[in-house]
Amino acid sequence: MLIRVTVNTVVYEREVKENRTLLRFLREDLGLTGTKEGCGAGECGACTVFLNGKTVNSCMVLAVEADGGVVQTIEGEAQEGMLSALQAAFEAHGAVQCGFCTAGMIMSARQLIHNNPHPTKEEIQEGLEGNFCRCTGYEQIIEAILDVTGQVQEKEELRYV
């Protein structure tokens, strides 16, 4: 089936098989490999992208469903080589380790901030619930989001004894 999808403001027309997921379409047909597959079953959130303004697990969306739609992926987050404020906060707070969950995490954080410009720690935890991270323990990710939303009170730090 021929589909027409706008991804990060670029319009793509591609012939896809009906059983192709949006995730594989992005990664393999468009070469946008920043979005990752962690489980293929909608559990881990590594494949999170925006479809028509809302975050979805792209492994659980058919590419044909995106026909006529607008998709945003991690490749659209930085502008002209400059990290977005959200990305920069992740970098500054050590919120990245292996990096495999990072793209999905940024997408969910972006959605959260869009819905709620000043989320509490608890609301951030709710918002990121669908994105597994096995490395960081989430804490520095949460701190990055608190920071980028202008809510850093006291910086959490290592204590020396």
Partner 1 sequence: MIVEFSYKGPTSESTLLELLSDTSRKAKLLAGGTDLLVGIRGGVYKPDLVLDLKKIPEYQKLVLGEDHALTIGPAVTINEILSNKVVQQYHPLLCACAKDLASYQIRNRATVVGNIVNASPCSDMAPALLCLDATITIASVRGKREVAIGEFFTGVKKTVLEKDELVTAVHVPASSASANGVYRKLKRIQGHDLGIVGVAVAQVQGKLRIAVSSAAPTPVVTKPLDGTLSVEALLKEVDSIISPISDVRCSQEYRRFMVLEYTKYLLREVTSC
Partner 2 sequence: MYETLDRSVLKSVGKSEIRPDARVKLTGEAGYVSDMVLPGMLYAQVKKSPHARARILSIDTSKAEALPGVRAVLTGAELDYRLGLYIVDKYILAKGEVRHYGEAVAAVAAETLQIARKAVDLIEVVYEVLPPVLSHMDARKEDAPLVHPDLGSYQYIKAVFTPIPNTNIANWTKLRKGDVEQGFAESDYIVEREYDNPSVQHVPMETHVAIVTWGSGDKVTIYTSAQSPFTVRNLFCNTFSLPLCNVRVVIPYVGGGFGGKAGIHIEPLTACLSKKAGGRPVKFQATREEEFSLLPCRSALTYHIKTGVTKEGKILAQKMEMYWDAGAYADYAVNVTRASGYSASGPYEIPNAWVDAYTLYTNKPYGTAYRGFGHVEFHWGIERHMDLVAKTVGMDRVAFRKLNALKEGSITLTGEKITKHSGDVVACLDAVAASIGYGKLSKEERQRQKDTGWKIGKGVAMLQKAPAMPSNTATASVVKMNSDGTVSVNVGLTDIGQGSSAALAQIVAERLGFEYKKVFVKIEKDTDSDPYDWQTVASKGLIMSGNACILACEDLLRKGYAVASHVLKASVDDLAHDGEGVYVKHDSENRIEWPQIAIGYAYPDGKAIGGPLIGVGSYIAQGLSNLDKETGQGKPALDWTFGAHGIICEVNPRTGEYNIRKIASAFDVGKVVNPQLLRGQIVGGMLQGLGTAMCEGYIFDTQGHLLNPSFTDNKIPTSKDLPFEIETIAVENSQIDGPYGARGVAEHPMISVAPALGNALFEAVGADLVHMPIRSEDVWRAMGDKTPIDNWITKSPIGSCRSDLVYKKEDASKHGID
* Residue ranges in contact with partner 2 by CB under 8 A: 17, 19-21, 24, 27-28, 32-41, 43-44, 46, 62, 73-75, 77-78, 83, 87, 90-94, 96-103, 106, 124-126, 128-142, 156-161
37 in contact with partner 1 (CB under 8 A): no
- Of positions 4, 10, 41, 99, contacts partner 1 by CB under 8 A: 41
- Residue 6 or 84: the one with the smaller Cβ distance to partner 2 is 84
40 in contact with partner 1 (CB under 8 A): yes
Query: How many residues does this entry show for the chain?
Result: 161
Secondary structure class of 3 (helix, strand, coil): strand
The CA distance from 108 to 112, in Å, is 6
Sequence letter at residue 115: N
Shortest distance, position 158 Cβ to partner 1, whole Å: 26
108 in contact with partner 1 (CB under 8 A): yes
13 in contact with partner 1 (CB under 8 A): no
Q: How many residues bind partner 1 (CB under 8 A)?
A: 28
DSSP output for 4-67 = EEEETTEEEEEE--TT-BHHHIIIIIS--TTS--S-SSSSS-TTEEEETTEEEEGGGSBGGGGT
Shortest distance, position 54 Cβ to partner 1, whole Å: 4
The CA distance from 40 to 57, in Å, is 9
DSSP label at residue 113: H
Contact between 141 and 95 under an 8 Å Cβ cutoff? The reply is yes
Shortest distance, position 98 Cβ to partner 2, whole Å: 3
Residues near partner 1 (CB under 8 A) are: 1, 17-19, 21, 40-42, 45, 48, 54-57, 59-62, 64-65, 108, 111-112, 126-127, 129-131
